[in-house]
Structure 1
Amino acid sequence: MKAVVQDRYGGWDTLECREVARPVPAAGEVLVRVRAASVNAYDWHYMHGDPKIARAAFGLRRPKAAVRGRDFAGVVEAVGGAVEGLAPGDEVYGEADGAFAEFVCVADGAVDRKPGRLTFEEAAAMPLAANTALVGLRDVAGVRAGQTVLVNGASGGVGTFAVQIAKAYGAEVTGVCSTRNADLVRSLGADHVVDYTREDFTRAGRRHDVVLDLVGNRSLGEFRRALTPDGTLVLSGGGFYEGGSLLGPMALFLRRRMLAPFVGQRLLELPARASKENLAALRDLVESGQVTPVVERTYPLSEAPRAIRHLEEEHARAKIVVVV
């Protein structure tokens, strides 16, 4: 099968589309014929091996997972033993390393039927990004109707879902983005838009019940100025923060852990993990019309390295999708 493979850490030019062995599903796994896969900051970080502390998980000298890509939509080709509820021919979406390929094996607990109203390209845009937004708002922050929520990075892959999910839960939503993306964020349902090129949301004097940070461009003190006295800050680790390429968000996370016991505000981290239950919850939000993926551009599988370059260098908005 064709797949986008990386043998060493580096830039997008270390990726190559070539023939590799087709995976075989083990017990508890599903083999999916991939129809589309989306590009995430996760792919960029894995590609570079940044932050370097993450190489303990990614692979010390070279990537453990040679095939890039993390989330997908496609059709079940085969199922391993102990898999229930899915059968060959089912249209599914989910999350697994190795999605930039014609086939991917995924654990049964990280794949579910895709929303019927979405194309494969739209469905592929959802698993990692929408799940991150869902867990951050629903599980970590506990967003409820009537609260005020600020999404820092509202026009990005996770941010476009976060705005819609927060609105679905009845919150008053403020989205922070650049001038060119303001109309997009408004179209997703944001009640207020802050153009960060013209206004600093941490100095505007407005306080929010929840701040979901997807950028990592502020200190803890600055974030806390944008919170109510008992508000909740959720740090996603989506940016490098002040830890640079060595520690990445861990430097800020360590400060959070030291400060959190001594302040009234809740300072939390976002541990998003794929699950069948979350995919089902996201499908319900889509089918009810409350969430719709936004795809900026698609690339063929052979041009997946260009897709990652687009995300890395051109400040892509919403989602970039690779079509297989």
Structure 2
Amino acid sequence: MSTSLMKAVRQHAFGGPDQLRYEDAPKPVAKAGEVLVRVHAVGVNPPDWYLREGYKTLPPEWRPAATFPLILGTDVSGVVADVGDGVEGFSVGDEVYAMVRFPDGMAGGSQAYAQYVSVPAAELAIKPASVDHAHAAGAPMSLLTAWQFLVDLGHDEPNAVQPGPHHPVPLAGKTVLVNGAAGGVGHFVVQVAKLKGARVIATASSRHSEMLKSLGADEVIDYTKTVPEDVVRDVDLVVDAVGGPTSGRFLRSIKRGGALFPIFPLGFADADEAARLGVTVSATQVRSSGAQLHELAALLDSGAIRVVLDSTYPLADANRAHERAERGHIQGKIVLTVD
């Protein structure tokens, strides 16, 4: 029996952007409970290049086993091409967006860098009508991360990065410092915190200042000229969208009873100091949620939350998109467009 083919970006070994190959691949089908989406745009996220490299930043025991060839990517916007058995609420021709099988697909099971992808119906939502596919594809993982950290987890799965559950904190009337505010997650954290009534201080280089103020930042600190933790004091919450081992430097900026949310918590080594200062340090693992994307679609549709695009590349040039990501200093999101 012949297999239908599509174009996809696959890799046959771990490595750099040069491992990404635009080639023929089997076209997926919509199994029971799934929807087949004809992809129009794909959002590029850090887990994409983590997987491309073999998750070198994770401890060896955490690295998922990958089977080659694999297809990267989780975030898509497109049109329903087929609906599997038992699926309700979606029809052929619907414009939809999703974060596909994350974190369950961390080893390459999401497979979004392609012309077609099968999506569990529970992870899918109708695309906001006023937002084009490129901007819609830039939203799912980064916006869900901001929402699940700041507003609502949306699930009760065990926390993979700490013993207990993550608890968002009330934001109305609070002061929030966002480190790495211009990036994919950071620019959504700024908007969500402002939407929920916080005063927002953003850290970014000066070239991002105008953009961040347009998104609601009350103050922007140029970290290339001023060390934020040297001048900021008594904030209620720091969201470190960069994260990693250096997050602890922000503890001195947080008032007793406040919180530090490192988006990338691995390597944090200042738990004792946080306890001494009375600061809660908490994080979570973003998870796919069609229900939350449905809720967020209304905010995207109204313009209450905006997606900023750093750059777009054709799917065939995914390697160039990854090269752009490696250069850093991204403003918003990188997106692949699909013919």
Q: Which residue in 2 is equivalent to 1:80?
A: 84
Secondary structure (helix, strand or coil) at the match of 2:231 reads: coil
Counterpart of 2:192?
Answer: 165
Residues 256-290 of structure 1: per-residue CA shift (max 9 Å, x gap): 4x666665221101221110121012112112321
3-state SS of 2:71 partner: coil
Q: What per-residue deviation string (whole Å, max 9, x for no partner) do you get for residues 25-56 of structure 1?
A: 21111110000001111111111123353665
Name 1:228's counterpart in structure 2. 255
Return 5+ residue gaps in structure 1 as ranges. Answer: 238-248
- Structure 2: how far apart are the matches of 1:158 and 1:283? 17
SS of the aligned residue for 1:203 comes to helix
TM-score for the superposition, normalised by structure 1: 0.90
Matching of residue 94 in structure 1 with residue 121 in structure 2: no
Kindly tell me: are residues 40 and 268 of structure 1, through their superposed partners in 2, closer, same or farther at Cα, counting changes over 3 Å? Answer: same
Task: Report whether the alignment pairs 1:285 with 2:304.
Answer: no
Shift of 1:67: 0.5
Question: Which range is displaced more, 201-210 or 164-173?
Answer: 201-210
Counterpart residue number, 1:193: 220
2: distance between equivalents of 1:191 and 1:52?
34
Question: Could you say which residue in structure 1 is the equivalent of 2:135?
Answer: 122
CA distance in 2, matches of 1:274, 1:163: 21
Determine helix, strand or coil for the equivalent of 2:221: strand
Contact 2:247 2:262 in 1 (8 A): no
Alignment of 1:246-261 (within 5 A): 249-252=265-268, 256=271
Amino acid at match of 1:194: I
- Tell me, in whole angstroms, the C-alpha distance in 1 between the residues paired with 2:68 and 2:144: 24
Q: Which moved more, 1:309-318 or 1:162-171?
A: 309-318
- Conserved 8 A contact 2:178-2:240: yes
Report deviation, 1:189. 1.0
Q: Which among 11, 17, 23 is matched to residue 6 of structure 1? A: 11
Counterpart for residue 234 of structure 2: 207
Q: How far apart are the structure 2 equivalents of 1:174 and 1:15?
A: 38
Alignment partners' CA distance in 1, 2:248 and 2:186: 22
1:305 CA displacement: 1.1
Tell me the amino acid that sits aligned with residue 88 of structure 1. V
Cα 1:54–1:38 shift into 2, 3 Å: farther
State the Cα distance separating 1:100 from its structure 2 match: 1.0
Supply the distance in 1 between the matched residues of 2:176 and 2:113 (Cα, whole angstroms): 34
Compute the TM-score of the two structures, normalised by the length of structure 2.
0.86
What secondary structure is seen at the aligned counterpart in 2 of 1:32? strand
User: Greater share of helix residues, 1 or 2?
Assistant: 1
Deviation at 1:207, TM superposition (A): 2.2
Q: In structure 2, what is the Cα distance between the partners aligned to 1:116 and 1:154?
A: 27
Displacement of 1:168 after TM fit?
Answer: 0.9
Greater displacement, 90-99 / 258-267: 258-267
Aligned to 1:149: 176
Unaligned ranges ≥5, structure 2? 1-5, 101-109, 153-166
Checking the alignment, whether the CA contact within 8 Å between 2:41 and 2:335 is kept in structure 1 is yes
Q: In the TM superposition, what is the alpha-carbon distance from 1:205 to its structure 2 partner?
A: 4.0
Give SS of 2:47's match: helix
Q: What's the offset of the Cα at 1:220?
A: 5.1
Which of 32, 41, 54 lines up with 1:36 in the alignment? 41
SS at match of 1:20: strand
Secondary structure of residue in 1 paired with 2:193: helix
Structure 1 counterpart of 2:148: 135
Matches of 2:245 and 2:85 in 1, distance apart? 48
RMSD: 2.0
Partner residue of 1:305?
319
- Does 2:294 align with 1:267? no
Identical positions, percent: 39
Q: Deviations over 1:179-230 (max 9, x none)?
A: 2211211111100101110111111142211111111266454221111111
Distance in 2 (CA, whole Å) between partners of 1:207 and 1:66 is: 46
Count of residues in correspondence between the two structures: 310
Structure 1: distance between partners of 2:67 and 2:183: 26
Instruction: Kindly provide the amino acid, as one letter, of the partner of residue 319 in structure 1.
Output: K
8 Å CA contact 2:175, 2:237 repeated in 1? yes
CA distance in 2, matches of 1:220, 1:173: 18
Stretch of structure 1 that moved more, 137-146 or 38-47: 137-146
Q: Distance in 2 between matches of 1:9 and 1:143?
A: 42
